[in-house]
Structure 1
Amino acid sequence: MKTKFFALSIILLGSISTIQAQKLKKFGSSIEKQVGPKTIKVPYTDVVSYLGYASPGNEDEVVDGKKFYYIYVWVPAVAPELGVRMMSPVGKTKIKGATSSKAYEENASSSDFFDTYVTLERSDIISKDNISVDAVKSAKWVTLERNDDSSEMPKQPSGNSYNSLLRYKSDTGNPTKALTVGLYRIGFTTYKTGEVKGTFLAEVAAPVKLPGVVMAKTIEDLKKGL
């Protein structure tokens, strides 16, 4: 009996270690490039990271019955593609150069996490001088892409692949869906019915350098970084 218990303990410890050891893979684009005889995926050379904490009652909007939270992103140049990914919880993952919100710093040790669901949206605001709380409320927003579950992301502590990742290529033939200079936002909620609660890492990336990208949870904080 002791032998069986010992063997089971080893299996359980191995499972826990695997979950703890899972790391965020390098964020790559969907754009292909021919290098000699090989075709490779062009890596994202510019990645901006944000650490946050979502809690019930702090949602920005209710959309189709779901409580949505927004992270605003100022994109200062034209991009061929943007990638967005979100992971919850952050756990012990270390992200160099990430913007860390006050809410995250106060709750970094929290074990809470949520089933992430993300959207990438573009507004009709194309000048940072026109960004204000009122302007954002009245702006027209177009959802460019969305994602619920991604097998490219680390599994959550539950063992499910419920973290999210999306890639969106610029549609240059459609002015409303081209990736131009302007104000964007990452919308996030939980796919399942319930509250959004837990730490999260959100990243926006591009295959070209975009000096001056700013990510912030509020318009006020975004303007401070512009």
Structure 2
Amino acid sequence: MKTKILILLSAFALLCTVDSQAQKLKKFGGLTEKKIGPKTIKVPYTDVVTYLGYAAPGNEDEVKDNKKFYYIYVWIPAVAPELGVRMMSPVGKTKVKGATMSKSYEENAGSEEYFDTYITLERSDIISKDKISDEAVKAAKWVTLERNDDSGEMPKQPSGSSYNSLLRYKSEASDPLKALTAGLYRIGFTTFKTGEVKGTFLAQVAAPIKLPGVVMAKTIEDLKKGL
């Protein structure tokens, strides 16, 4: 009997640990490293913008490579030396000050559903706010700068798996196709595994310098409202 009780308590403790890990976000560090004593850490980004959303089957933006892709549009107002992007699902009890909350997130904030995140950072050839429209976005040329599936730096999901995503991209000023110029970007996300994308998510875009005026939105209409 005692053995059964100990097993149950151990299992409960493990579940609590996993749940705690799923809700805790560490500081978002960039590519620059700094040695503090015996440890080497990534220097935290100084500018982080957060978006909370909810993805569900049927509201995907595009089917690409046989996967349903969803997009979060991002306006970057100035040249950046580096950008970091990370995504976590589910949001759970995680709280972030100043986060932009979509209507779908507010309606589904209590959902325990989550998905195996896979993210891309893409840049368009739209460099002026005045040129942003649904038609222009559809006709724009999009370049994928970086992508990520699983990151051990991110909190584990409730399953205990490290299926949340994080990427960092450093600008290559000498190459126009790889430079982080001012303009319209988007975070593409889907699931690496076969299946539907469904659940709450937290997405962040970060930079090592202050970029006043960064706007994140799920639709072009909402993005334009924030510009």
Pairwise TM-score range, normalised by the shorter structure: over 0.9
Output one character per residue of 1:75-120: Cα deviation in whole Å (capped at 9) or x when no partner.
Answer: 0011110000000000111111100110001001111100000000
Counterpart AA for 1:213: V
Output one character per residue of 1:175-216: Cα deviation in whole Å (capped at 9) or x when no partner.
Answer: 011001000000000001111000000000000000000000
* RMSD over equivalenced CA pairs, Å: 1.7
**Structure 2 matches for 1:58-97, cutoff 5 A?**
58-97=59-98
Q: The residue matched to 2:193 in structure 1 has which SS?
A: coil
Output one character per residue of 1:42-62: Cα deviation in whole Å (capped at 9) or x when no partner.
Answer: 320000000000000110000
Alignment-derived partner of residue 144 in structure 2: 143
* 1:176 and 2:139 correspond: no
Q: The residue matched to 1:51 in structure 2 has which SS?
A: strand
Gaps of 5+ in 2: none
Displacement after TM superposition at 1:33 (Å): 5.8
Farther-moved stretch of structure 1 (148-157 vs 26-35): 26-35
Displacement after TM superposition at 1:13 (Å): 1.4
TM, length-normalised to structure 1: 0.96
Alignment-derived partner of residue 164 in structure 2: 163
Displacement after TM superposition at 1:31 (Å): 1.9
TM, length-normalised to structure 2: 0.95
Alignment-derived partner of residue 24 in structure 1: 25
Displacement after TM superposition at 1:32 (Å): 3.6
Q: Is this contact kept in 1: 2:18–2:159, CA < 8 A?
A: no
Taking a change above 3 Å as real, the CA distance of residues 152 and 34 of structure 1, as seen in their structure-2 partners, is closer
Displacement after TM superposition at 1:30 (Å): 0.7
The whole-number CA distance in structure 1 between the counterparts of 2:173 and 2:51 is 28
Q: The residue matched to 2:49 in structure 1 has which SS?
A: strand
Displacement after TM superposition at 1:40 (Å): 5.7
Q: The residue matched to 2:6 in structure 1 has which SS?
A: helix
Taking a change above 3 Å as real, the CA distance of residues 74 and 21 of structure 1, as seen in their structure-2 partners, is same
Alignment-derived partner of residue 196 in structure 1: 197
Q: The residue matched to 1:73 in structure 2 has which SS?
A: strand
Farther-moved stretch of structure 1 (200-209 vs 20-29): 20-29
The whole-number CA distance in structure 2 between the counterparts of 1:32 and 1:170 is 17
Counterpart AA for 1:147: N
Alignment-derived partner of residue 123 in structure 1: 124
Q: The residue matched to 1:134 in structure 2 has which SS?
A: helix
* 1:107 and 2:108 correspond: yes
The whole-number CA distance in structure 2 between the counterparts of 1:24 and 1:33 is 20
Displacement after TM superposition at 1:41 (Å): 3.2
**Structure 2 matches for 1:34-45, cutoff 5 A?**
41-45=42-46
Aligned-residue sequence identity (percent) comes to 77
Alignment-derived partner of residue 8 in structure 1: 7
Output one character per residue of 1:112-153: Cα deviation in whole Å (capped at 9) or x when no partner.
Answer: 100000000000000011100000000000000000000000
Q: The residue matched to 1:199 in structure 2 has which SS?
A: strand
